[in-house]
Amino acid sequence: MKNGEIRIIGVREIPEVSKGDDIAALIIEALRRQGDTLKEDDIVIVTQKIVSKAEGRVRWLTSYKPSKRAIKLATKLGKDPKHVQAILEESKKILRAEKGVIIAETKHGLICANAGIDQSNVRQNMVSLLPKDPDASARNIKNNIKKKTGVGIAVIISDTFGRPFREGHVNAAIGVAGLNPVKDYRGKGDGYGNILKVTTIAVADEIASAAELATGKLARIPVVVLRGYKYQRGAKGSKGLIRPFSQNLFR
C-alpha cells in the first residue's frame, strides 16, 4: 500500500453468531475463506450486535415484567411496556422521554436512544442489549487474535447512534482496545502559526463510522478490517470519548 492509502475490507461469510462463540476465531476463518489474513497494526471493527449475541446479551421481551414506571412511560410514548422496562433496567438515568423517543444514559455512561437496546437483526420479540463492558469485549477479541495469529491489532466495537441537531445516524465506538480513541492537537501550530487550543479528534468514532460504509445496516457484514491508518497505540479504552458532566453544556 502507498503512504496515506487506507483500505476498508468487509469480512464476509461470518455465520450467525450464538452465545459462547469465539468471535476472534470466526473473523480469522472468514478472512481465510476470502483469501486474506490480518496484518500487524490492522484495526478490526466489530459491530455491537454480534458481540452481544456471543456474550448472551439477547433476551426475549416476554422475560421482562413491566414496572409501574415502565407502564406509565409506555402509555405516554406509545411503546411496548416490556421494551420500556428493558430500557429502564439498562439505564443509569432517563434524560428525555418525548415524541415516542427515550434518551437515556446507560450504565456505561453512553447517551443514546433506548439505552442502546435494539430490535434489528435479532428474532422477533427479542431485544439486543449492549455488552456489559464493551472495552473488555474489545480487549478479549484483540488478545484472542494475538494468541491465535501472533499479529498485534487494535479492535473497535461499534454501534449506531443518532446525533444531536443533525439528521441521520452514524456508527460510533463504544468499545476500544489497542489504540488511543482521541487524537489531541492542542498545543500544536497550524500552517499559519496559530496554536490550536481545543482541537481533539475522536479517531475511534471516525474509524467506526468509516467502517459502516462496508458493513451497512442490512449487508450482513458485521466485521470490517481497516488497513493503512497509522494510529497511536494505547490502553485508554472508550472512556476518553465520554465528555465529563462538568463540561457538558446541554445537560
DSSP H or E segment with residue 211: helix 203-215
What is the C-alpha separation between 215 and 208, in angstroms, rounded?
10
Name the residue with higher pLDDT: 83 or 192: 83
68 burial (CB, 10 Å; 0-12 / 13-18 / 19+) is: exposed
Q: Quick one: pLDDT at residue 182?
A: 93
Q: Quick one: pLDDT at residue 216?
A: 80
Structure-block grid coordinates of residue 30: 472468514
Closest residue by Cα to residue 134 from 151, 157, 117: 157
Cβ(211)–Cβ(223) under 8 Å? no
Confidence of residue 219 (pLDDT cuts 50, 70, 90): confident
Name the residue with higher pLDDT: 193 or 227: 227
Q: Quick one: pLDDT at residue 204?
A: 97
What is the C-alpha separation between 161 and 238, in angstroms, rounded?
15
Between 2-6, 126-130, 247-251, the lowest mean confidence (pLDDT) is in 247-251
Confidence of residue 251 (pLDDT cuts 50, 70, 90): low
What is the C-alpha separation between 134 and 34, in angstroms, rounded?
28
Average pLDDT over residues 36-40: 97
Reported as a single tens digit per residue, the pLDDT across 80-129 is 999 999 999 999 999 999 999 999 999 999 999 999 998 888 889 999 99
Between 57-61, 76-80, 199-203, 245-249, the lowest mean confidence (pLDDT) is in 245-249
What domains sit in the chain, N to C, each tagged with a CATH number?
7-56+131-245 (3.30.1330.100), 59-127 (3.90.1660.10)
- Answer yes or no: is pLDDT of 33 > 80: yes
Q: Residue 154 pairs with which residues in a beta bridge?
A: 43
Name the residue with higher pLDDT: 185 or 113: 113
- Answer yes or no: is pLDDT of 65 > 80: yes
Could you tell me how many residues make up the chain? Answer: 251
Average pLDDT over residues 137-156: 98
Q: Side chain identity at 40, as an amino acid letter?
A: E
Cβ(161)–Cβ(174) under 8 Å? no
CA 93, 128, 166, 177: dihedral to nearest 10 degrees? 90
CA 45, 46, 48, 49: dihedral to nearest 10 degrees? 150
Q: Quick one: pLDDT at residue 188?
A: 85
What is the C-alpha separation between 4 and 204, in angstroms, rounded?
18
Average pLDDT over residues 137-164: 96
- Answer yes or no: is pLDDT of 231 > 80: yes
| CA-to-CA dists, residue 219 to 145, 172, 213, 216, angstroms | 24, 18, 10, 5
Structure-block grid coordinates of residue 195: 496554536
Average pLDDT over the chain, rounded to whole? 93
Reported as a single tens digit per residue, the pLDDT across 204-218 is 999 999 999 999 877
Structure-block grid coordinates of residue 251: 445537560
